[in-house]
Amino acid sequence: MGKDIVKVGLLGLGTVGSGVMKIMEMNKEQVRSRAGTEIEVKKILVRDREKPREVKVDPSLLTTQAAEILEDAEIDVVIELVGGLGAKDYVEAALRRGKYVITANKDLMATAGASLLQLARDKGRNIYYEASVGGGIPLIRPLKHSLGANRILRLIGIINGTTNYILTRMDLEGMEFAEALREAQARGFAEQDPSNDLEGRDAAYKLCILAGLAFNSNIDFNSIHVEGIANLSRRDLLYARELGFTIKLLAIGEETDAGLALRVHPALVPLTHPLAGVLFENNALYVEGNAVGEVMFYGRGAGSLPTGSSVVADLIEVVRSINHQVENGVMESDFRDKKVVPLEELNSAFYLRLQAQDQPGVFAGLANAFSAEMVSLDMIIQKRSREGRAEIVLVTHREKEKNFNAALARIHKFPGIMAVNCVYRVITS
Amino acid sequence: MGKDIVKVGLLGLGTVGSGVMKIMEMNKEQVRSRAGTEIEVKKILVRDREKPREVKVDPSLLTTQAAEILEDAEIDVVIELVGGLGAKDYVEAALRRGKYVITANKDLMATAGASLLQLARDKGRNIYYEASVGGGIPLIRPLKHSLGANRILRLIGIINGTTNYILTRMDLEGMEFAEALREAQARGFAEQDPSNDLEGRDAAYKLCILAGLAFNSNIDFNSIHVEGIANLSRRDLLYARELGFTIKLLAIGEETDAGLALRVHPALVPLTHPLAGVLFENNALYVEGNAVGEVMFYGRGAGSLPTGSSVVADLIEVVRSINHQVENGVMESDFRDKKVVPLEELNSAFYLRLQAQDQPGVFAGLANAFSAEMVSLDMIIQKRSREGRAEIVLVTHREKEKNFNAALARIHKFPGIMAVNCVYRVITS
């Protein structure tokens, strides 16, 4: 049974595509032995056949016509590495022609994953997308299989390398945001237009995919609350450390009694939490299951070879499936729609930094504003004031976000308060 | 296609068995949906049917006769949770009768895994053993599948919770070994006879299994060099911290040009290394692949529900296999025998603590001993001496272990040296 050779078409030969070709060459024996069959990359879609490339590829494999791959009946597997929502046509065409699809396209899987997986199911095929989240870190397969016996209670991810690199440099080296961003760009950890990363959208796409699997649910990308890190100041990282925390851009998915809670925002993380040790461009996903307890997956969340490692792992699985002639089932097609809870209804602790006039009654006014909304204070820092102005940092206990916001509205109106600089949520455990 | 119901026999209803039954009950819907079929535990082997149990089980399921499970043609899957090498007969009998086997038995898989997997292959069945290493942390499946495109260069594991708990209490709270051990016993993290854990044998069994998968190799348990932590002093943890390290019991597998290097021993780990943050009873496996770079898997390495989580994940996979009527292949049967390199041939940095007479020429003698064997020093601590006796702590650069040992032999003979207290290897990256 099975084929002697499985033929593959590659759409795109950029960063990840080059990584895939390098791995297929350098680990040829390993891949062949795990897959159980010879694998041949038959054709590669590129925009420019003449462009010099960092990976050596037989020029006769290159084509500028997608149809040469999508309509080739010999090709069983299409690896889509073009990226962006425009790739949807390619993926649909491949599935319609009965090909298996492997993709690293997070935008596509986050926004159109449900319909594409349904199409795959209808065709008796499947889509593999380990590389769409967390580069080389195994996340999709563990959520689908290894933790399959768990009801997942919560996911907390550091799943954007650009922002984690910036926050790590700010925290460990005392850089300001702009300087750390320049460093990230110089080292290739941030793009020239980094807004997708800095504003949290990249992390939200990935959360959309992970939360779908974790909670067996079709997640609407627009139901995710998203805040970025562009306003973060080094000053807050210093205060956080004084209080025993660091600040990370977190992607959080939770299943509460009231429904799903989905959000990307910067948050204070206790220095004793495993996520606090995830530094520089590294990524991690922290998962709480009702049987397994807490587990964490850590590694390089991007890059040519790490992401290629996930693509080739998917390829090995596809080839094993083809060779055992198994329709091994699209697990995601049983997903249900679940209610999403507004952030205001969730409980959180909060960090607040503000400027107040250094005069009698100001602190009492602050304290009264919180107490009127039943929000209690956990930690307070007030340093010696300068020029009649006191900087105050407060951390509250966990309370409903609605109540905290109401207290904040009172504080804004209070005459002794000169400015509320910033508010961040705090992870307490 | 497939069965409406898959029937399971459970051998053993202790800690892990109870966890399995609890998970099957509390996550019934989830397990059913992921498996795609109803699962029924038909019979459970126990030693004493009357014994009170912490999990509610229909008493009619209990039997004291293994044959009632092993010879029941309706039972497709046998979950072996009896433990110990005596369980080999059960596993063989189950495979011979065409049943799939799931086991949490690390001793058995470490010492007889190769022959059992061969038997499984001959019978067109398979053995699943995710629960045999690292409790609920996904390790086996990621090594087999998610990292399948990588040549694994090195594994470093903290895979014994008892010793990690003891070392963490010693390090963070300044306890001596005996006190930390009593604490571990009082909290159920150490057995009354903890020698298997303290002497490193438990970690070596697990390394045997992990290294086999990582290096596609049949590992002889006796080829693993094993040292425990029973002689570790709080004093060394204090010095280590002063130098920027903590001390962990590590299980290390490496594939070098000369062959495999396999060892369990305490080692200094830089505080900036992700493994340094693995505290208390938690476990972690740090893996370096030639494509993925470094990844780490972290979580609870033992316990009823975490280990049960891995058993039930395996069960879901078995049931999916049965229902798709797939002979999905025993990957481990292609393993080869590989040469194991003696420790003396490996490179390492070393930590050394000794007592010397506080007199001229002693330090020069030490320095000459190292320099004669071409070992260079990286860090030195010498505190003010007391009663004519100086305590000296040295850390060397990376050098062949043979050379370090030769230098140590010279030092032992040197008249000014009163005692060599201890030597530990140092992880430098």
> Closest Cα partner for B135 from B113, B154, B162, B153?
B162
Q: Which residues of chain A are within 8 Å of residue B296 when distances are taken between CB atoms?
A: 296-299
Where do we find the tokens 């040296």?
Answer: B417
Q: Are B203 and B285 in contact (CB under 8 A)?
A: no
Q: What is the mean pLDDT of residues B367-378?
A: 95
CA A24 to chain B, closest CA, distance in angstroms equals 8
A79 to chain B, any CB pair closer than 8 A? The answer is: no
* DSSP codes, A291-335: TTEEEEEEEE--SHHHHHHHHHHHHHHHHHHHHTT-----GGGG-
CB A298 to CB B295 under 8 A?
yes
Interface touch A31/B296, C-beta < 8 Å: no
Q: What is the DSSP string of B396-415?
A: EPSEEHHHHHHHHHHHHH-T
A343-426 fold:
Alpha-Beta Plaits (3.30.70)
Q: Give start and end residues of each alpha helix (H) in A100-160.
A: 106-122, 140-141
**CATH for B344-426, options being 3.90.1640.30, 3.20.20.450, 3.30.70.260, 3.40.50.360:** 3.30.70.260
* Token pair 């296609």 in the structure block, residue: B1
Residues with pLDDT less than 50, chain A? none
A317 interaction partners in chain B (CB closer than 8 Å)? 145
Any A CB within 8 A of B320 CB? yes
In the numeric block, which tokens belong to residue A121?
């199911």
**Cα–Cα distance, B115 to B122 (Å, whole number):** 11
Q: Please give, rounded to a whole number of angstroms, the shortest distance from the CA of B64 to a CA of chain A.
A: 28
In this complex, do B141 and A145 lie within 8 Å of one another by their Cβ atoms? Answer: yes
Question: Which residues are within 8 A (CB) of A264 and not within 5 positions of it... i.e. 6 or more apart?
Answer: A200, A203, A204, A207, A224, A225, A226, A227, A249, A250, A251, A252
B300-345 residue pLDDT tens: 999 999 999 999 999 999 998 888 765 556 777 678 889 999 999 9
Instruction: For residue A138, give the chain B residue with the closest CA.
Output: B146
CA A380 – CA A375 distance, rounded (Å): 14
Chain A closest-CA separation from residue B323 CA (Å): 10
Instruction: Return the pLDDT at B326.
Output: 59
**Domain range summary for chain B, segments of one domain joined by +:** 5-136+304-334, 147-300, 344-426
**How many whole angstroms separate alpha carbon B351 and alpha carbon B380?**
10
> According to the model, what pLDDT value does residue B330 have?
72
Interface mutation vs chain A, best among B295, B316, B320, most A CBs within 10 Å: B295
| B124 at A interface, C-beta within 8 A | no
The pLDDT, as a whole number, for residue B137 is 98
CATH class held by domain A5-136+304-334: alpha beta
DSSP label at residue A408? H
pLDDT digits (tens, 9 = 90+) for B249-283: 999 999 999 999 999 999 999 999 999 999 999 99
Same fold flag, B5-136+304-334 and B147-300: no
Low-confidence winner among A195-199, A324-328, B25-29, B167-171 (lowest mean pLDDT)? A324-328
Interface contact B333, partner A, CB < 8 A: no
Q: Which A-chain residues 369-388 have CB contacts (< 8 A) with chain B?
A: none
Of all residues in chain B, the one with the smallest CA distance to A276 is B277
CATH architecture of B147-300: 2-Layer Sandwich (3.30)
Read out DSSP for B361-393? THHHHHHHHHHHTT--EEEEEEPPPBTTEEEEE
Hunting for tokens 């067996």 — which residue is that? A216
CB nearest to B296's CB, from A19, A299, A329: A299
Take residue A61 and report the two structure tokens written for it: 């494999």
What's the N-to-C CA distance of chain B in angstroms?
A: 52
Q: Give me the residue label for tokens 């205060």.
A: A239
Closest by CA to B141, choosing from A294, A330, A141, is A141
**Residue B44 pLDDT greater than 70, yes or no:** yes
- Provide the CATH number for the domain formed by A145-300 in this structure: 3.30.360.10
- pLDDT value, residue A329: 67
Question: CB pairs below 8 Å between A and B: how many?
Answer: 204
Contact with chain B for residue A65, Cβ under 8 A: no
Cα distance from B328 to chain A (closest Cα, Å)?
7
Residue A148: alpha-carbon gap to chain centroid: 20
- Select from A22, A121, A271, A292 the residue whose CB has the most chain B CBs within 10 Å, as the one to mutate to test that interface: A292
User: A156 CB near a chain B CB, below 8 Å?
Assistant: no
DSSP H helix total and E strand total for chain B? 14, 17
Q: Does B23 touch chain A (CB under 8 A)?
A: yes
DSSP A136: T
Helix axes B106-122, B88-96, angle to 10 degrees: 20
Measured between CA atoms, the residue of chain A closest to residue B304 is: A291
Q: Cβ–Cβ of B292/A136 closer than 8 Å?
A: yes
The pLDDT mean for chain B works out to 94
Element (DSSP H or E) covering residue A369: helix A362-372
* Residue B332 confidence (pLDDT): 74
CB contact under 8 A, A294 and B317: no
Of the candidates A172, A168, A174, A192, the one whose C-alpha atom is nearest the C-alpha of residue A182 is A192
Listed residue (A418, A412, A425, A407) closest to A367, CA to CA: A407
Whether A299 has its CB under 8 Å from any CB of chain B: the answer is yes
The angle formed by the CA atoms of residues B237, B242 and B248, to the nearest 5 degrees, is 35
Q: Where are the alpha helices (DSSP H) in B123-233?
A: 140-141, 161-173, 177-186, 195-198, 201-214
Q: What band does B360 get if pLDDT is binned at 50, 70 and 90?
A: confident
